[in-house]
Amino acid sequence: MKKILIVDDEEVIRMLYGEELEDDGYDVVTTGTGQGLTELIGKEKPNLIILDIKMAEHNGLDLLQDIRKEFYNIPVILCSAYSSYKGDLKSIAADYYVVKSADLTELKQKIKMALEGHAPFESTPE
Amino acid sequence: MLTELNPSQITAAEVIVGIPSYNEAEVISYPTQRASEGLVKYFGEKNSVIINCDNNSPDGTRDAFMNTPTEVPKIYLSTPPGVRGKGNNFKNLFKKSCELGAEAVIVLDADLKSITPRWVKNLGEPLFQDFGFVAPLYVRHKYDGTITNNIAYPMTRSIYGRRVRQPIGGDFGFSGELAEIYLRHEDWTPEVAEFGIDIWMTTMAICHDIPICQSFMGRPKIHKPKDPGASLGPMFLQVVGTIFDMMIKRVDFWQEVRWSKPTAIFGFGLGEMEMPPPVEVDIKRLYNKFQDGFDRWGAVWKTILSPNVYKKLSEVRTLNFAKFELPANLWADILNDWAVAYKNRAHEREKILESLIPLYYGRTCSFVVAVEPLNIQQAEEVIEDQCIVFERSKHSLLTRWVE
């Protein structure tokens, strides 16, 4: 079972995303802070990270650079209520950028793509 | 036989800045001086050297380089008379890097006008932080680098699965270990020996799973940009030919790649972004060259393209200038069909590459029109959307490739 780590300071988001992704068969771990994030990643060994950008105490784009330094290949999806951060150069270190929505279709599609990274083509992708 | 001038008798260097050249006497002093300043300021505790890898330029490049006042010692290497090619210059650089035991090799274009000493830091420092290949990230005018934007970047990304925005940027860094890997590989083609070398190096780094970093240069690349329709030169054939050749040789690697992944980023936050100078494009000329291509190459295109792709292309041909569009999904299909035709030798390979040129002009025309009202960031999103199209077409490419 693939494990997803959700990093978001909003509890509602952590709960909503966590429940939906668990329903889809993922093992989900959440945290509301970027404090000790790389240690948490080392401990939990997630297959993918969903990372908020605008958090009260941390900037997700800076956390992303820390993640990349230690975990070069781990898939990271930036998930923000704001599309404007796409223009920040630091965001290109993420696998994908998804604008937050109650409809998780796009997020789930990007999770699937990020986890598939290296995989044989079994069927025509969407 | 190699010509070497090494007046300081350097026998070891931890950091090298290499500047490949042919007939760059007028401009080479500038990057040479900046390189020296960068090495002193940011790598002062390490032994370093600046190496000009030249093609025996008749215009005095050697003297211009050697006479440039620098604190860092210099070495001049040249291919023998009559031997040209950027790739051949790089081969000399690889050999010298291994001989000197270099840990980090930074390469700069000889015609670079916008380089600052900090470029040396940003291209070199990641090599001391476990990265083996450093590609540049710089702001370029949305009309500059059309081969990169419409061919090299989307293809490298979709085929090999790593997002290197400037795979043929011309300014980059590689580790001493990677230099050894480059030297070990004997799959040099005449194209790699010339302008195909940049894409060959980037592709080899990806295929050897070398940790790659993209480093933000802060300033735009200011060199000698050209109207893409004015003079394509041999670079197009050599770059695209090398891309197709590498696809044949590295199929075991790329057939396992489904979606692309990002790299690490280095060197951001260097202050306000300076805008690049404008690039003028004659869009009508691009359109006309596309249309003329049908007359000259239409029969060849029909043998290369899948029937449905040729049909769509024929529809595009009927569009007048005001309504012209060669969309990204059609362009991805065209390049995929071209790669397959190249592999299968549907025609002589040089003919296959040459016949692609009018279609490249058509795509460039369409791209320039699409991004004309956009700012640089918005144009980047158009390029990003095109890359996703290429990635989604990978399955179709692979199906045709193994038929």
Which member of A68, A116, A121 has the closest CB to residue B398?
Answer: A121
- The reported pLDDT for the residue numbered A121 is 61
In this prediction, residue B271 has a pLDDT band, given cuts at 50, 70 and 90, of low
> What SS3 class is residue B160?
helix
Q: Answer whether B264 sits within 8 Å of A69, measured CB to CB.
A: yes
Give the model confidence (pLDDT) of B100-111 as tens digits.
999 999 999 898
Question: What is the Cα gyration radius of chain A?
Answer: 14
Contact B153, B387 (CB under 8 A): yes
Partners of B107 in beta bridges = B18, B172
- Residue predicted with more confidence, B387 or B271: B387
Q: Which one, of B133, B124, B161, B134, lies nearest residue B48 by Cα?
A: B124
Residues in chain B: 403
% of chain B beyond a pLDDT of 70:
95
Average pLDDT over residues B125-131: 94
**In the sheet where B15-21 sits, what is the strand order?**
B3-5, B74-78, B48-54, B15-21, B104-107, B172-175, B133-137, B212-216, B264-266
Average pLDDT over residues B326-350: 96
Give the model confidence (pLDDT) of B200-251 as tens digits.
999 999 999 999 999 988 777 776 655 655 567 788 999 999 999 999 999 9
> What SS3 class is residue B213?
strand
Residue of B nearest to A125 (CA): B392
Quickly count: other Cβ atoms within 10 Å of residue B81's Cβ.
11
Which positions in chain B have a beta carbon within 8 angstroms of at least one beta carbon in chain A?
A: 129, 137, 161, 163, 165, 211, 214, 216, 256-259, 261-265, 268, 377, 381, 392, 394-395, 398
- The reported pLDDT for the residue numbered A123 is 42
Residues in chain A: 126
- The reported pLDDT for the residue numbered B226 is 58
The label of the residue with tokens 């299968």 reads: B344
Average pLDDT over residues B120-124: 95
Which positions in chain A have a beta carbon within 8 angstroms of at least one beta carbon in chain B?
A: 65, 68-69, 72-73, 75, 86-87, 89-90, 92-95, 113-114, 116-121, 124-126
Contact B314, B320 (CB under 8 A): no
Write the CB contacts of B3 (distance below 8 Å, at least 6 apart in sequence): B56, B76, B77, B78, B79, B80
Average pLDDT over residues B74-95: 94
What is the Cα–Cα distance from B54 to A10, expressed in whole angstroms? 58
Greatest Cα pair distance, chain A, in angstroms, is 43
What is the Cα–Cα distance from B47 to B73, expressed in whole angstroms? 10
What is the Cα–Cα distance from B227 to B267, expressed in whole angstroms? 30
Contact B326, B258 (CB under 8 A): no
- The reported pLDDT for the residue numbered B224 is 63
pLDDT means per 10 residues, chain A with 126 residues, are 96 95 97 95 96 93 92 93 86 94 93 81 45
In this prediction, residue B268 has a pLDDT band, given cuts at 50, 70 and 90, of low
CA distances from B297 to B242, B293, B350, B354, B360 (A): 22, 6, 13, 9, 13
- The reported pLDDT for the residue numbered A124 is 37
**pLDDT exceeds cutoff 80 at B37:** yes
pTM of the model: 0.92
Contact B122, B217 (CB under 8 A): yes
